[in-house]
């Protein structure tokens, strides 16, 4: 994939962007702990000519560059890594460790490509700052805590859209191993799923394993509940609609011969439409309480269902903005390199930037980093290693997308 006029600039910048990428890759930080990363991103944006504000909504950084009048375009990269032990074998493999939210020491890895997103953002910042033919304002955002889907909301709460120029368009990308390298994937409307997490405490009455008749076994109840959940999607969600229920964690008991008082289920749901979300949550409550009631449980020993704050709505690309950006991609890269893609069941909190009132149009697209054999691995895998040349594709696509909007500046505006 090569942009029309920018290839010489990218060729010049690529070696230093590659070094930056490798440095970011080798030093990942967990969500909410991005102190070094945000400092690094802030310094790079500042060196490119942006006026920086640090500490926005935690470790968020915001860089502003205004040139005359015209549209305000926000470009965003996420900055956090994941608690995984890297097994890529790359020379710049991460050896970082950190304490997670529970105080446990964990290995840390950039297994979701956010290091590449940051390098691309900085590449785009350098190219756009050096490029004379646009008028308007660029707002570069380094966002913390994407993996906990909380960073976008925190930056908004800390005044992202009141203390800084309010965007006419907000743009972001994500690497995608399921799309061939050299290709961009785009979609108007919903592009990724909403997700919610629940804690369900299944209550019972503990006792000796030799006397189940004196206890109410919450392990058996939890097992029944987990199996009953499996028919919610297959029998209640209309065919063709996305609904996912995953019980990803089951915790109860501590010994072979002691029935515990409680079992904790950690549950995650995914959906594209709010009606399906409500259906799933109502059915989870009905099934859980129904099974508990059938076992003779009653308040206060009734299941406790808690919807956790780490939830994110489906991400919805603004159709007009997204088609405009996609048309520009097709003009620059050719139709074979620009794919109209299906929405994914993963979740992402960039969509939260598009939900403030009045609405800010958002466009989130995917940048291919894969091949037919998935040799770069999957997102969130300990072997995920996208080809570093994708930095050039990603930075180029951000520049092209920004120019698609900035070029609308009035032709006689000052600064042109």
Which lies closer to Zn ion via its Cβ, residue 48 or residue 112? 112
The site that binds Zn ion (CB under 5 A) totals a number of residues, namely 1
* Span between the terminal Cα atoms of the chain, in Å: 29
Residue nearest to Zn ion (CB): 112
Kindly state the helix (H) or strand (E) to which residue 307 belongs, with its residue range.
strand 304-307
Which lies closer to Zn ion via its Cβ, residue 9 or residue 112? 112
Q: Are 391 and 123 in contact (CB under 8 A)?
A: yes
Which lies closer to Zn ion via its Cβ, residue 112 or residue 171? 112
Q: How far is the CB of 117 from Zn ion (least distance, A)?
A: 8
Q: How far is the CB of 339 from Zn ion (least distance, A)?
A: 19
- Please give the residues from 81 up to 140 whose contact with Zn ion meets the rule CB under 5 A: 112
Count Cβ neighbours within 10 Å for each residue of 369-401 and write b for 16 or more, e otherwise.
Answer: bbeeeeebbebebbbbbbbbebbbbbbbbbbbb
Q: What residues contact 249, with CB distance under 8 A and at least 6 apart? A: 264, 265, 266
Q: How far is the CB of 16 from Zn ion (least distance, A)?
A: 24
Q: How far is the CB of 175 from Zn ion (least distance, A)?
A: 8
Q: Are 115 and 50 in contact (CB under 8 A)?
A: no
The DSSP call for residue 5 is S
The Cα–Cα gap between 131 and 49 comes to 12
Q: How far is the CB of 243 from Zn ion (least distance, A)?
A: 22
Query: Going residue by residue from 219 to 258, which x/- string records binding to Zn ion, judged by CB under 5 A?
Result: ----------------------------------------
Which tokens belong to 125?
């910042």
The Cα–Cα gap between 251 and 289 comes to 19
Which lies closer to Zn ion via its Cβ, residue 81 or residue 396? 81
Q: How far is the CB of 350 from Zn ion (least distance, A)?
A: 10
R_g (Cα) of the chain, nearest Å: 24
Which lies closer to Zn ion via its Cβ, residue 107 or residue 262? 107
Which lies closer to Zn ion via its Cβ, residue 171 or residue 279? 171
Q: How far is the CB of 409 from Zn ion (least distance, A)?
A: 32
Q: How far is the CB of 121 from Zn ion (least distance, A)?
A: 14
Which three-class secondary structure string do you get for 145-194? Answer: CCCCCCHHHHHHHCCCCCCCCCCCEEEEEEEEEEEECCCEEECCEEEECE
Torsion of CA 81, 86, 91, 94, to 10 degrees: 40
Q: How far is the CB of 45 from Zn ion (least distance, A)?
A: 20
The Cα–Cα gap between 359 and 116 comes to 28
Which lies closer to Zn ion via its Cβ, residue 263 or residue 367? 367
The Cα–Cα gap between 72 and 381 comes to 36
- Helices then strands (H, E): number in the chain? 8, 18
Which lies closer to Zn ion via its Cβ, residue 147 or residue 217? 147
Burial class (CB in 10 A: 0-12, 13-18, 19+), 75: buried
Which lies closer to Zn ion via its Cβ, residue 112 or residue 176? 112
Q: Applying CB under 5 A, which residues contact Zn ion?
A: 112
């Amino acid at each position: 994939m090569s942009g029309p006029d920018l290839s010489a600039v990218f060729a010049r910048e690529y070696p230093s962007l590659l070094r930056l990428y490798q440095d970011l890759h080798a030093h990942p930080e967990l969500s909410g702990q991005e102190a070094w990363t945000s400092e690094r991103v802030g310094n790079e944006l500042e060196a490119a000519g942006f006026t920086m504000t640090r500490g926005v909504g935690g470790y968020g950084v915001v860089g502003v560059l205004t040139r005359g009048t015209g549209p305000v375009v926000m470009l965003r990269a996420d900055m956090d890594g994941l608690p995984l032990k890297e097994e890529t074998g790359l020379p710049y493999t991460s050896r970082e460790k950190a304490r997670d939210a529970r105080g446990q020491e964990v290995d840390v890895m950039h297994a979701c490509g956010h290091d590449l997103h940051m390098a691309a953002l900085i590449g785009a910042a350098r190219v756009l700052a050096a490029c004379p033919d646009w008028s308007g304002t660029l707002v570069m955002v380094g966002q913390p805590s994407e993996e906990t889907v909380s960073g976008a909301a925190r930056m908004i709460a800390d005044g992202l859209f009141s203390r800084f120029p309010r965007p006419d368009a907000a743009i972001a990308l994500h690497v995608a191993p399921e799309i061939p390298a050299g290709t961009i994937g785009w979609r108007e409307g919903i592009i990724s799923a909403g997700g919610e997490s629940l804690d369900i405490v299944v209550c019972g009455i503990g006792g000796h394993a030799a006397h189940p008749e004196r206890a109410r076994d919450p392990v058996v109840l939890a097992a029944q509940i987990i199996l009953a959940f499996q028919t919610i999607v297959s029998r209640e969600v209309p065919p063709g609609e996305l609904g996912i229920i995953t019980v990803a964690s089951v915790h109860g008991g501590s010994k072979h011969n002691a029935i515990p008082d409680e079992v904790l289920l950690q549950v995650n749901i995914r959906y594209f439409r709010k009606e399906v979300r409500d259906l799933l949550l109502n059915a989870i409550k009905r099934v859980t309480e129904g099974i508990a009631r059938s076992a003779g449980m009653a308040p206060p020993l009734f299941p406790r269902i808690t919807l956790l704050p780490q939830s994110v709505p489906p991400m919805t690309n603004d159709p007009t903005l997204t088609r405009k950006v996609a048309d520009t991609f097709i003009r620059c890269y050719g139709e074979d390199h620009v794919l109209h893609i299906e929405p994914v069941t993963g979740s992402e909190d960039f969509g939260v930037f598009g939900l403030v009132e009045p609405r800010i149009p958002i466009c989130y697209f995917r940048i291919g980093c894969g091949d037919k054999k998935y040799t770069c691995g999957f997102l969130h895998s300990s072997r995920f290693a996208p080809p570093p040349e994708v930095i050039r594709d990603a930075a180029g696509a951000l520049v092209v997308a920004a120019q698609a909007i900035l070029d609308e500046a009035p032709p006689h505006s000052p600064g042109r």
